[in-house]
Structure 1
Amino acid sequence: MSKIAKSDLRYEYSWKATAGDNPHLIHNDARHLSRKEGYEMLDFLNHLGWASDNKTVVYNAGADMSEEFRLYVEWMLKEKFESTAPGRPKVVDWINDNWQSLKTSFKALKPKKA
């Protein structure tokens, strides 16, 4: 899969684990996705793939997803998703419900960080 690296992310994140979090046990550690913690966002984005219909986003499975689409999902989650403590399945459902309609308001990725 076309994985993205920390340096590819377009938003600022905390890279320190908060109390109760372990960045080495991301799947077991957090049922919820913290959109402020870089290690959680990076792991989440890199575990997205396409279902066999090539229109449905799946987590921890599926066909290759482009780096550009992963960064588009980052934008969606940082700019448009409003839940305060989203469970990962809820996030994937929200992505599937909104990725096509939000494309019209997505102009361009934020410039890469220097």
Structure 2
Amino acid sequence: MANFNKAALRYQYNWSEPFKNKRYLQFTDDDIIDRRNGYHTLDFINRFLTLHGLYTFDYFRKVEVMICRYMPEQLDTRGEMKDWLRKNWNTRLHGIM
């Protein structure tokens, strides 16, 4: 699994809920991801990168920017977020690779 940590994140997140830092062995596409919560976002990005065999910092940065700057706010489940990232991966977005 990609194993980027808190220091790799560029944007500001809420880190006040330490119990959110637990890595869950099972997760579903219906899981709600709170994109303001650093633990949720970091775990989602690491899992997304691993799922697609992407392990570089450039890909980590690309996913974070896509989530924080371009992903519609109403997308909040793991499945919706993965689908949107896949559909928009090759779209030219300002500020991304």
TM-score, structure 2 normalization: 0.77
Identical positions, percent: 24
| Partner of residue 41, structure 1 | 41
Does the aligned pair in 2 maintain the 1:32–1:85 contact within 8 Å?
no
Alpha-carbon RMSD across the aligned residues, in angstroms, is: 2.6
CA distance in 2, matches of 1:25, 1:7: 18
Corresponding letter in the other structure for 2:87: D
Measured at CA, do residues 25 and 7 of structure 1 come closer, stay the same or move farther in structure 2, by a change above 3 Å?
Answer: closer
For this pair of structures, how many residues does the alignment match? 93
Kindly indicate which of the two structures has a greater share of residues assigned to helix.
2
Aligned to 1:106, which of 80, 94, 97?
Answer: 94
Structure 2 unaligned runs (5+)?
A: none
Does the aligned pair in 2 maintain the 1:3–1:46 contact within 8 Å?
yes
Aligned to 1:73, which of 63, 66, 71?
Answer: 63
CA distance in 1, matches of 2:37, 2:70: 17
Measured at CA, do residues 99 and 108 of structure 1 come closer, stay the same or move farther in structure 2, by a change above 3 Å?
Answer: closer
Bigger Rg, which one: 1
TM-score, structure 1 normalization: 0.67
Consecutive aligned runs of 4 or more in structure 1 exceeding 4 Å deviation: 25-28
CA distance in 1, matches of 2:82, 2:96: 22
| Partner of residue 7, structure 1 | 7
Measured at CA, do residues 67 and 81 of structure 1 come closer, stay the same or move farther in structure 2, by a change above 3 Å?
Answer: same
